[in-house]
Every structure is written in structure tokens, then in C-alpha cells.
A and B are shown apart, each in its own frame.
Chain A
Amino acid sequence: MSTTTPTTQQNPTYSEAFQSGVREEMKLNPNIFILGTDLVERGGHFAQVKGIAQEFGVDRVKDSPISEAAMVAAGLGSAMYGCHPIIDLNFIDFSLGAMDEIINQAAKIRFMFNRPVPLVIRATSGVALGGAHHCNSLESLFAHTAGLSVAVPSRAYDVKGLIKTALRSPDPVIFLMHKKLSGVRGEIGDENTFIPFGSAHRVKSGKDAAIISYGYTIVSAQKAAQTLAEQGIDVEIIDLRTLYPLDTDTINATVQKFGRVVVADEAPMFGSITAEIAATASEVNFRHLKGPIVRVGAARAPLSANPQMSEAAIPSANDLVEAVKKVMSY
């Protein structure tokens, strides 16, 4: 685990951190290319590849038709052939038009044919404005699928370090960047900083209880920790950074240390990754627990376009405060 890094105005944004990691790896590996819609001039919908086409040319940053199945198939076939493509699906919601290519094909090639599939599928994820077709949290689905790895960075440093690792990995990676974090600035590592998958980050250490989470919910957890501190509760925050592989060592150590744990994200709770974590951690650490692991997640309902309804469906900082108080009551 690494430690927290300070942020300043001069630091790059979360999106720029992606550019930085990709640029460095593209310089070293001529077989990396990026394919997606509106990448060349616009630089992607979240400026995540801005300027890269101008630097590396349009053979290595390719504008695509709106053809998600063909986009992922192009990535898959070229990866099997020896390239290391980044397929930019814009919003993860649009992966649903390419699910066969991802789940039946890309995820299973190595197991069946013993061949690497060095493919990165990048998409923006998470709940923000946009309603039912632009706010699906599909990370559990990908983590559930054998053969796929899933990155869910919450800060610029992790975006860069994880994308660099993904671009050296022989396996398909689903790389999910949260919409609401696109413009958030933070320090980034240098060209030799690689963050291993399956290594959580301790955002804040604490004495009383822990919140295990990822993505934008880390921001809510930090707010919750402040509120709790005012009430004399010192909460630790663990950012998983990748959902598969999952840092079970850190999860187990955290459960053993506190016996009071909240697992949170903004995906619908039913059948979600938080359920996986709570179930596995309870099985392994039952005698260390002071009470049940408490899960916080979204309602099992499509997201509404109305902002108040959408906010009400996902966990707030206050929901996390309440959950921590609950585990403190055991």
C-alpha cells in the first residue's frame, strides 16, 4: 500500500493523468493504439486523450464509427494479433452493445487458446447527471467474469499508475474512470511508477472502524470521516483501486484490525461487489468481527434524470456516517 499524496492547483487532472500514462507507454510501445469516437480533434468526451493524436498521428489514435461491437472486436482481434489497443467506449453504458465481444470472446481466449489478449477497454463510469442510459454501474458484472480485470481509480495518481500497468499486461482490462472525477487534480507518479492491480490504497488511517470503497464513493467517505471525527470517531478509509484482482490481504487485515467495517459503492446493492467483499470477509474473519459488515450501495432501480431522484438513489456522505455509527454500536 502507498500513502496519500498532497494536491495542488498545478497538478494534472484525473483525465490528464490518463493522457500522461498513455503517452509514456505509447512512446515505448509502438503497438499501442487508441480507437474510439471523437478522439482525434475533440480528445475524447472527457479530454482523456486530448493532444495524443496531434503527437502520435491518426494511425495511432483512430476515430471510430459508432459501432461498439466492432470497436471491441477490432481491439480483441488486433490484441490477439500482437497489438496493445485501448478501446475507448466513452461511457461504460455503451459496452452493453459489445457484451458478447467482451464477455464471451475477450475474457475467454486465454483460457481456451492459451493466447494473451493485451486489450484495454476504457470507459467513463459512475453516477452523475444523464439518467438511465448513462449511469449504469456495471463493474460487478465485469469483476464477475473470469478472464477480466477491472480498474476503478479514484484519483489522478492511480489513473496514471494503473493505466501504465494495464498497458504492460497481457490480459484484458476494463478501465473505469468516474465522470465526477474527470477534472479533479492530484499529483501523479513518474514514468517508472506502476501501480500493481490488486493493491489497495489506504486513503486515511483510523483507530475505530474502516470504510472500504472505490471510485467516487471515496470522496463521500472522506466527507463522512470529517463528520465522524467531529463526533469522536476515527475512521480508516481503504480505496480498493481494482475490483479484480481484489486486494483480499488488505481487506482481511482491515477486518481483523477493526472488526467494524463498512463496504460501500454506488452500484445497486443486489448482487454487487460489496456483497462479494462482505461475504468473503465474513467467512474468513468471522471471529474478528464485532458485528455484521454493513454494506452501503444504490437502490435496485434505474437512475432517474432528475438530479434529486438520482442523488436519493445512491449513497451520500451522510449514509456512510450512519453506517459507521451502526458498526460502532456493536
Chain B
Amino acid sequence: MTTDSKWGKETLRQMLLIRNFEETADKLTLRGKVPGGMHNSSGQEAVAVGVMSALDPKDVIATTHRSHHHTIAKGMPVNIVMAELFTKATGCSGGRGASMHLADVENGHFGGNGIVGAGVGIAMGAALGIKQMGHKKVAVGFVGDGGVNTGRTWEAVNMAVIYKLPLIIIVDNNQYAVETFVERVTGGNDIAKRGAGFGLPSFTIDGQDVEEVHKHTSEARNRALAGEGPTFINALTYRYYGHNVGEKGQYRTQEEIADWRSHRDPIDRFSAKLISEGALTQADYEAMIKSVAKEIEEAVDFAEKSPLPDVSTILDGVDSGLLGARK
């Protein structure tokens, strides 16, 4: 199937933007600019962009500790994301959250999370809210291959099924949880089958193919909007860097990483397809890479120049105060 040129270019640019953001932020983290470090999503761009390009901007997502790619694909400007990584006052969470707690609840981003497995439950709750209020939207909950071993994830899936909620569960399955290979900790070794056991449509897909991710998410969204309930999607992908910035470890080989990078890279694959179909010229592509680099440079500059949060505000916003709480 040939790709629509406009959609293809936008999609490719988003993936390039995420890749450049992550590689830039990784280096800045090593230079001490990102308090608490960060989880780099390089290699996983197609999952985020494929899903988000199939959603309406008003749809809701709730995600994980590794969520820069989801957040940028959801539409948060990269300067705001970068400023949050720097824990600056201009960041999306005012510097309170950093890399793991990116959010924009107003615009349907219900947050990254420090707690593995928390995202699917929150998205399930949002889907319930959507249904209760009669809205025409869906919610998407992201979880990792490690996170699918938390009980809370499956409690949420079950509830979504019995209430027929407009929920899409995406396993951002990069095959490792910290240093633990998925097969070592996944009974039955088939995550989609687990999903199917709860009685909902459940698929394992190629998460390095942005169009495949887009297609499955669109179909899931249509089912959800038609009142047919949730869908479970296990998207196979790969992270190129360590779990946290700076980590290497002996748990996987350099050959394995090189193989994923050289044969299955989501950006290389998609750009090659667009170029071969004539939807994109090499010159367009190079210009796109340059413009993305400029956008990220400006984001870093914005984050650097932004003010730190005011430490006198540490007690602000713990609660509304309407119940009479005092400082």
C-alpha cells in the first residue's frame, strides 16, 4: 500500500523529532542537566507516532516512566518537554516532575509515571469517564513488557472488558525490563495471548512499522467509538540505549543492538519507503533532518534560559484548600 505523502512526511518528521530529542537529551543528561536522569526511547518512535497519528488530539493517554516519545507524539512542544527534563519552571509540570512525570491533563495527557503498570489503570478510568459522560473519545494506556507482569494492569484490562470501555492498551514491548529479557519473566511467553484471555481483540504487531501501528490503532479506535470495547496491542520494538542514561550492562550483545538498528530502524524503514514511492525526495528528507535539529536546538536553548521553580512554592497545590487545609 502506498503512503499518503502529506501524512507520511508529518509522521516521518515526528519520528525524527523524537529521535533527535532523545539523543540530545541523553547527552545533556550525561552533562548533569537532567536531575534524576531519564529513560531514552530511541528505537521506539514508531509505536508512539503510529498510535498518536491514529488518535484525535482530544483523546486521552496515560503512560509510563519512558514517555518522552509518547509525549512529543501527543503534541507537546519539545521546548516544554525539554524544560521539564531540566526541572525548570516553564516545563509542563513546572519542574516538579522531570522526565518521568510529563503531563498535560487539560490536553488529554494524563501523565507519565514513576510506578510501573500504573498507566493502564489510569487510562481505563479515563475511558470510564468518557463513557459516563457520553463523549466520543478513546483513552490509550501504555505499558512495558515488564509492566505487563503487574497485577494492576490486568485488573484494569478486565474492568475495561466488562464495562466495554473505549480503551486501547498498547504494550510498548522493547523486550527488556531494565536488564531482564522478556522471556525470562513472562509465563506462557505470549503477551497478546494473555490479553486474549480477558476476552478482547488482542494482537502482536510490528512496532517498528509506523503504518502497521497506525492501522491497528485506527481499527481499535473505530471499535471503541462504535461501543465495542477495548483492544489490546502488543507492539514489538527495541530500545537502543540502556534502561537509564549511561547504563550499558552485559545483558544483551552489541550485535543484537546493531542488528535492530541496521535492519529494523523505524525511521530508516519509513523514509526509504517514502523515497522509493516518490512521496519524499532525498533533498526533502535532508531539509527535514535539518529543521528538526534546529527545533531541538531551540528547545535546549529555551530550557537552559528558563527560570528554576521558586522554592517558596513547595507547599503550593498539595490540595485545593477548599476543605480548610492550612499551611
Contact = CB atoms under 8 A, between A and B. Distances in A.
Tell whether A pairs with B.
yes
Interface string A57-71: 000000111111110
A67 B115 contact: no
Interface string B109-129: 000011111000000000000
Contact of B318 (A69, A131, A302): A302
Give the interface residue-count category, chain B. Answer: 35 or more
Interface in A120-169: 129-134
Interface stretch (B72-80, B148-156, B202-210, B270-278): B148-156
Contact of B177 (A37, A41, A70, A130): A37
A66 B36 contact: no
A25 B100 CA distance: 38
B321 interface: no
Contacts of B149: 65-67
A42 B249 CA distance: 8
Interface stretch (B258-266, B285-293, B309-317): B309-317
A70 B117 CA distance: 14
Interface of chain B: mostly helix, strand, loop or mixed: loop
A133 B117 contact: no
Contact of A305 (B95, B186, B313, B314): B95
A138 to B, nearest CB: 14
A66 B114 contact: no
Contact of B114 (A42, A131, A313): A131
Q: Which of A66, A96, A306, A309 has the most CB of B within 10 A?
A: A306
A305 B98 contact: yes
Contacts of A288: none
Contacts of A302: 96, 318
Contacts of A305: 35-36, 87, 93, 95-101
A133 B113 contact: yes
Contacts of A65: 146, 149, 177, 185-186
A30 interface: no
Nearest to B151: A69
A94 interface: yes
Interface in B30-72: 35-37
Contact of A67 (B114, B150, B308): B150
A300 B318 contact: yes
A309 B309 CA distance: 8
B101 A306 contact: no
Contacts, number: 118
A304 B177 CA distance: 25
Contacts of A300: 315, 318
Nearest to B89: A306
Contacts of B184: 63
B178 interface: yes
A299 B315 CA distance: 7
B295 to A, nearest CB: 24
B268 to A, nearest CB: 31
Contacts of A301: 314-315, 318
Contacts of A308: 308-309, 311
Contacts of B318: 300-302
B228 to A, nearest CB: 30
B95 A41 contact: no
Interface string A305-322: 111110011000000000
A306 B100 contact: no
A38 interface: yes
Nearest to B93: A305
Interface string B127-158: 00000000000000000001101111000000
A37 B117 CA distance: 15
A96 B117 CA distance: 13
Contacts of B222: none
A97 interface: yes
8 contacts: A97-B152, A131-B114, A301-B315, A305-B35, A305-B93, A305-B101, A312-B314, A313-B314
